[in-house]
């Protein structure tokens, strides 16, 4: 069982918006603004999409945005495109002892 | 463009040691931390540990007794050894770079494609 809780799956039609939640605790998501999100297509290397809760690496479309409230972080994808179909994982800093925790992953289906 | 490639046996017998190597191209091992992450059949990701270019290591407390990481800067490679494996260690193993240099926090900016390791007799 993963430390961070994500929905197993979400779906949306092209052009729509979807939001993926990532719920942790006061020991990880709630205490640190070091949440990141990764896109993983089968057989490919995972790709960093969001870091420090809200920041986008160079090259990531601004359709991808991150936010956080309390112990829950969220990834929102607006203007869904077929190429967005993938698994998405959240990750949070969890202090110097544990260092990092992950979510169980969310499968995004573009209908 | 930094690229990472995992290599190692696809099949390991129970109780034996799992050895994996990650080769880094397009960039230098220094001055970053490098990490191993695995994905079990259930889908979730699990952090195994990390190694600095100088050889300093930090391991997941739950795996610490069985994990050893090493780095060979001359070959731009770092390695993982996981001892006394069981079926529960069957997973896709990824290597990745921790891209932050200003704060000691997890930000995995480059990943390998992963390699499936099955533990079975």
State yes or no: pLDDT of B43 exceeds 80. no
What's the DSSP call for residue A111? -
Quickly state the pLDDT bin for B103 (edges 50, 70, 90). Answer: confident
pLDDT for B91 equals 96
Counting one residue from A and one from B, how many pairs have CB atoms under 8 Å apart?
Answer: 66
pLDDT for B42 equals 78
Q: How far is CA B58 from CA A87, B50, B62, in A?
A: 27, 5, 12
Kindly state whether A37 is in contact with chain B, defined as any CB-CB distance less than 8 angstroms: no
State yes or no: pLDDT of B86 exceeds 90. yes
- Return the SS3 of B73: helix
Quickly state the pLDDT bin for B37 (edges 50, 70, 90). Answer: very high
State yes or no: pLDDT of B98 exceeds 90. yes
pLDDT for B41 equals 85
How does DSSP assign A58-105, residue by residue? TTS-TTEEEEEETTEEEEEE-S--GGG-EEEEEEEE-HHHH-EEEB--
Kindly state whether A38 is in contact with chain B, defined as any CB-CB distance less than 8 angstroms: yes
B87-95: average pLDDT: 96
Of B61, B109, B110, the CB nearest to A98: B61
pLDDT for A96 equals 86
Residues B48-82 have pLDDT tens digits of: 999 999 999 999 999 999 999 999 999 999 999 99
Residues A13-71 have pLDDT tens digits of: 999 999 999 999 999 999 999 999 999 998 899 999 999 999 999 999 999 999 999 99
Query: Inter-chain contact A105–B111, Cβ cutoff 8 Å?
Result: no
Inter-residue contact B13 to B119 (CB < 8 Å)? yes
B28-45: average pLDDT: 91
Inter-residue contact A19 to A43 (CB < 8 Å)? no
**What residues does A77 pair with on adjacent strands?**
A18, A64
- Report the mean per-residue pLDDT for chain B: 94
Quickly state the pLDDT bin for A3 (edges 50, 70, 90). Answer: confident
pLDDT for A2 equals 77
State yes or no: pLDDT of A1 exceeds 80. no
Of A32, A57, A100, the CB nearest to B47: A100
pLDDT for B7 equals 97
Residues A62-98 have pLDDT tens digits of: 999 999 999 999 999 999 999 999 999 999 999 988 8
Chain A positions in Cβ-Cβ contact with residue B24 (cut-off 8 Å): none
pLDDT for B44 equals 87
């Amino acid at each position: 069982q993963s430390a961070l809780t994500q929905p197993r799956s979400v779906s949306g039609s092209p052009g729509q918006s979807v939001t993926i939640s990532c719920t942790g605790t006061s020991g990880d998501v709630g205490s640190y603004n070091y949440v990141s999100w990764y896109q993983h297509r089968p057989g490919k290397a995972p790709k960093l999409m969001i870091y420090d809760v809200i920041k986008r690496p160079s090259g990531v479309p601004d359709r991808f945005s991150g936010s956080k409230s309390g112990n829950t972080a969220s990834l929102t994808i607006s203007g869904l495109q077929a190429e967005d179909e993938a698994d998405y994982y959240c990750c949070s800093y969890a202090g110097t002892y544990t260092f990092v925790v992950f979510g169980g992953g969310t499968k995004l289906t573009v209908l | 463009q930094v690229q990472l490639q995992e290599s190692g046996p696809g099949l390991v017998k129970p109780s034996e040691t799992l050895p994996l190597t990650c080769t880094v191209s397009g960039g230098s091992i220094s001055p970053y931390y490098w990490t191993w992450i695995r994905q079990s059949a259930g889908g979730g990701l699990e952090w195994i540990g990390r190694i600095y270019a100088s050889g300093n290591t930090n391991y997941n407390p739950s795996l610490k007794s069985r994990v050893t990481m090493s780095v060979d800067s001359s070959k731009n490679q770092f390695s993982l050894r996981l001892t006394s494996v069981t079926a529960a260690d069957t997973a896709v193993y990824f290597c990745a770079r921790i891209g932050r240099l200003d704060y000691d926090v997890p930000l995995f900016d480059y990943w390998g494609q992963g390699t499936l390791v099955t533990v079975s007799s």
